[in-house]
């Protein structure tokens, strides 16, 4: 089986690296990929260049027995999976219609309401809303305000605040940028990410993980795309994953099917584990970053065959997934200025040798004219550590980051600490 991974982040590097270990997979290509992937396997085609992707798959001799995996949300929401399927390719990733579960928060709310899935109460505001409308909506929420950009914002469009004025300012800023706004009730409880392989109404959960969305230690600073993650979750009660499958994922998969938009690919449920159990914060229509880097490092089942089974409607026939014992931790090294304006073009030196216990995945990196590795994005690298438990995995991830030098870069020092019982105070 030949494979093509579409996208350029650490998530795509993790998927490509895992596909390499599948004995059924003969070739792993990436479009455009990043310098962590061998240059001979990288193709200079953008993730949203449908024609370029179809031409590339043809050039590489792809047929239905091969596999295209789409990493990021933007091409999915734009319908790239549909177009590749029309060209006769087997694609891991949902249709444009099904990807609306991520592309429009209002659509996701509607699906959840129909499916009876617990989520935050929300109200919408649009460009036509008056100052008075905004005040009226704010009156109905609080003391903690959750204000969201109702479009794709890379995890950075959400402000959670007790400051009514800050909430109003974010509403005005998002409306001013041309996007509608959702104001939501605050969901209490620890957050988790559960990734589910979904093929119509067949649902198979991966290991639960937790992302760390804020930029700085102790969950301070602005929201980011994710600064680190660990899997599995020692604090999650027994039976929790099964409850999420039954109460959240299956009803949503059924509802999408009923609407004529069956989901095929990875459904990412971002949840708050509250006193009454799981409540949905958001859905994504693809693997999450940085959770994927941790989760896939523990997957024993060959990835290519598994994703190909989803892509071709055969998930129900697959044997149960196999996982390594132990834990995995991802720590993201970010560029100075992230998540605002990351500094780019700075040299990166000191990358350690990869081992089975710890390795570094690339994301916002590129090669300059002299072939030196330089930074080119906000989240630059992801270190992954594996171990018998969370403490060991975390120690290995941090040791892999220690020798790396990138001027102005930073990473959180507390990924997984609360769960590992490490007291920061």
Residue 75 vs 155, nearer CB to ligand AMP: 155
Handedness of CA 250, 256, 259, 261 (dihedral sign): negative
Contact 411, 401 (CB under 8 A): yes
Interface with ligand AMP (CB under 6 A), residue from 120, 373, 400, 401: 120
Partner interacting with residue 291 (select from ligand AMP, ligand GLY, none; CB below 5-8 Å by kind):
ligand GLY
DSSP state of 247: I
Our finding on whether 71 is near ligand GLY (CB under 6 A) is no
164-to-147, 212, 213 alpha-carbon distances in Å = 11, 25, 22
**Of 150, 184, 211, 414, which lies in the binding site for ligand GLY, with binding defined by CB under 6 A?**
211
- Candidate residues 24, 49, 191, 217; the one interacting with ligand AMP per rule CB under 6 A: 191
Q: Near ligand GLY by CB under 6 A, which window of 30-38, 129-137, 281-289, 309-317?
A: 281-289
**Cα(59)–Cα(230) distance, integer angstroms:** 38
**Candidates 86-94, 271-279, 284-292, 410-418; binding stretch for ligand GLY (CB under 6 A):** 284-292
Query: 190 near 275, Cβ under 8 Å?
Result: no
Stretch that binds ligand AMP, among 12-20, 154-162, 165-173, 235-243 (CB under 6 A): 154-162
Does 223 participate in binding ligand AMP (rule CB under 6 A)? Answer: yes
Q: Considering only residues 35, 288, 342, 416, which one is a binding residue for ligand GLY as defined by CB under 6 A?
A: 288
Which residues are CB-neighbours of 165 under 8 A, at least 6 positions away? none
Give CA–CA dist 194/248, Å, rounded: 10
229 binds ligand AMP (CB under 6 A): no
Candidates 22, 66, 82, 291: give the one binding ligand GLY (CB under 6 A). 291
Identify what 288 binds: ligand GLY, ligand AMP, none; CB under 5 to 8 Å per kind: ligand GLY
Three-class DSSP labels, 321-371: CCECCCEEEEEEEECCCCCCCCCCCCECECCCCCCCCEEEEECCEEECCCC
Q: How far is the CB of 240 from ligand GLY (least distance, A)?
A: 19
Q: Which of residues 280-339 bind ligand AMP (CB under 6 A)?
A: 281-282
Q: Cα–Cα distances in Å, from 121 out to 106, 140, 167, 232, 250?
A: 11, 11, 17, 29, 21
Task: Tell me how far, at minimum, the Cβ of 226 lies from ligand AMP, in Å.
Answer: 9
CB 210 within 8 A of CB 233: yes
41-49, 90-98, 288-296, 393-401 -> range binding ligand GLY (CB under 6 A):
288-296
CA distance linking residue 35 with residue 13, whole number of Å: 9
């Amino acid at each position: 089986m030949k494979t093509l991974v579409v996208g350029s982040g650490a998530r795509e590097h993790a998927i490509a690296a895992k596909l390499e270990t599948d004995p059924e997979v003969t070739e792993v290509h990436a479009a455009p990929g990043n310098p962590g992937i061998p240059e001979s396997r990288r193709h200079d085609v953008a993730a949203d260049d449908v024609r370029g992707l179809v031409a590339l798959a043809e050039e590489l001799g792809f047929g239905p027995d091969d596999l295209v995996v789409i990493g990021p949300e933007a091409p999915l929401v734009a319908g790239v999976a549909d177009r590749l399927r029309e060209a006769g390719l087997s694609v891991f990733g949902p249709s444009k219609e099904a990807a609306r579960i991520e592309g429009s928060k209002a659509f996701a709310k509607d699906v959840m309401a129909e499916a009876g899935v617990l989520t935050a109460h929300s109200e919408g505001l649009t460009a036509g809303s008056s100052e008075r409308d905004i005040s009226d909506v704010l009156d109905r929420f609080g003391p903690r305000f959750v204000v969201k950009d109702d479009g794709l914002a890379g995890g950075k469009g959400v402000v959670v605040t007790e400051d009514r004025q800050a909430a109003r300012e974010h509403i005005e800023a998002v409306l001013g940028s041309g996007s509608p706004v959702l104001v939501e009730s605050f969901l209490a409880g620890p957050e988790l990410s559960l990734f589910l392989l979904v093929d119509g109404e067949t649902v198979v959960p991966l290991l639960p993980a937790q992302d760390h969305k804020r930029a700085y230690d102790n969950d301070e600073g602005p929201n980011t795309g994710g600064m680190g993650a660990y899997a599995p979750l020692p604090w999650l009660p027994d039976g929790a994953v099964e409850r999420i499958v039954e109460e959240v994922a299956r009803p949503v998969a059924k509802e999408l099917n009923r609407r004529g938009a069956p989901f095929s690919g990875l459904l990412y449920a971002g949840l708050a584990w509250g006193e009454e159990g799981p409540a949905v914060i958001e859905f994504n229509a693809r693997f999450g970053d940085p959770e994927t880097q941790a989760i896939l490092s523990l997957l024993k089942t060959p990835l290519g065959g598994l994703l190909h089974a989803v892509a071709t409607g055969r998930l129900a026939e697959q044997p149960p997934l196999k996982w390594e014992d132990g834990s995995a931790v991802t720590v993201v090294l970010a560029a100075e200025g992230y998540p605002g304006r990351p500094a780019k073009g700075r040299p990166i030196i000191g990358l350690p040798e990869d081992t089975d216990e710890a390795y570094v995945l690339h994301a916002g990196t590129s090669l300059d004219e002299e072939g030196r590795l330089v930074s080119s994005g906000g989240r630059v690298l992801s270190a992954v550590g594996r171990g018998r438990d969370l403490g060991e995995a975390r120690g290995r991830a941090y040791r892999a980051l220690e020798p790396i030098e990138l001027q102005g870069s930073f990473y959180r020092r507390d990924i997984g600490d609360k769960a590992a019982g490490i007291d920061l105070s």
